[in-house]
Amino acid sequence: MTDQLTAELLDLALEAASRAGALLRDGRPADLGVAATKSSSVDVVTEMDLASEKLITDFLAEHRPEDGLLGEEGSATEGTSGVQWVIDPLDGTVNYLYGLPSWCVSIAARKDGETVVGVVDAPMRGEVYRATLGGGAHVGDRALRVRPAPPLEKTLLGTGFGYLAERRAHQADVVRALITEVRDIRRGGSAAIDLCDVAAGRLDGYYERGLNPWDYAAGDLVAREAGAATGGRPGAPVSTELTVAAPPGLFEPLQARLEELGAWHD
């Protein structure tokens, strides 16, 4: 992985995310409705999710036609270059549908299976988070750094919930147990933004079951490059089964408690 390639991938991710973010911010129709559903009737896709993914994939294919693509709304090509783009064209769709500001565009680039570039563009915040593997994490010109690890009982946690009723029921059980053991719990509605909020020190930690690679790929790199430890179950990497992010010293007891509570299963 050369510095030149990293810089090229970062520039393309920033430009694609900026264009998509502007489309979503400025092009949202007043009568926006649900275009389709996925895992359940409340797991929605809007016409703007689809338009954003098309804009991003067309842009990346124009500039790097040999790269692979993996997008939330169905874009999937293998590629031959060893580079794969992992795209969430609108993370926080329900927020966007309701006119809430916590949504973003998330774009990561992987080289030979390892995430090397991550960009999370949150237009309604006016913030663009970016990270490169080994190069640190930034929002605008400011370097990001996680908060010092607090004890678990003084932790402000972020989390999210799935769209299947059975999964939500168990996730509620986990929250019910944790809420008396930590400072408080926030549910923002965008996994990518939550991971960036850990990086920026706005959350002490974050966990969620059921994320897909496009949900966490960019935000995970931003968090790690800001000093967070990330993973899934003990000894396992971040995955759909479980995603945990927190500063070292908090990560370990949080991960252990989530394991005890069975946060990794429905």
Half-sphere exposure of 2 (CA within 13 A, CB side): 3
Give the Cα separation of 221 and 196 in Å (integer).
9
Per-residue confidence (pLDDT) for residue 36, from 0 to 100: 81
**Confidence at 57, pLDDT banded by 50, 70, 90:** very high
Q: Please, which pLDDT band fits residue 14 given cuts at 50, 70 and 90? A: very high
Looking at residues 191-200, what average pLDDT do you find? 98
The structural domains of the chain, with segments of one domain joined by +, span: 3-143, 152-261
Residue 92 — left, alpha, or beta (φ > 0 → left; ψ -120 to 50 → alpha)?
Answer: left
pLDDT at 39: 81
| pLDDT(240) > 80 | yes
* Band of residue 257 on the pLDDT scale cut at 50, 70, 90: very high
Q: How confident is the model at residue 44 (pLDDT cuts 50, 70, 90)?
A: confident
Residue environment code for 138-147, b if the CB has 16+ CB neighbours within 10 A, otherwise e: bbeeeebbbb
Does 173 have pLDDT greater than 80?
A: yes
- Position 102 scores a pLDDT of 98
Quickly name the fold that domain 152-261 has.
D-Maltodextrin-Binding Protein; domain 2 (3.40.190)
**Residue 45's pLDDT band (cuts 50, 70, 90):** confident
Beta strand pairing status for 83-91 and 104-111? antiparallel
- Residue-wise pLDDT tens digits, 108-160: 999 999 999 999 999 999 999 999 999 999 999 999 999 999 999 999 999 99
pLDDT band at 196 (very low <50, low <70, confident <90, very high): very high
Query: DSSP assignment of 94-115, as one string?
Result: HHHHHT-S--EEEEEEEETTEE
Mean per-residue pLDDT of the chain: 96
User: What pTM was computed for the model?
Assistant: 0.96
- Residue 104: Cβ-neighbour burial (10 angstroms; 0-12, 13-18, 19+): buried
Q: What's residue 172's pLDDT?
A: 98
Per-residue pLDDT, 37 = 77
- Calpha distance 157→208 (Å, rounded): 11
| Furthest-apart CA atoms within the chain: distance in Å | 51
Confidence of residue 40 (pLDDT cuts 50, 70, 90): confident
CATH topology of domain 3-143: Fructose-1,6-Bisphosphatase; Chain A, domain 1 (3.30.540)
Where does the pLDDT of residue 42 fall: very low under 50, low under 70, confident under 90, or very high at 90 and above?
low
Amino acid 41: pLDDT: 75
The average pLDDT across 175-183 equals 98
What pLDDT is attached to residue 104? 98
pLDDT at 43: 63
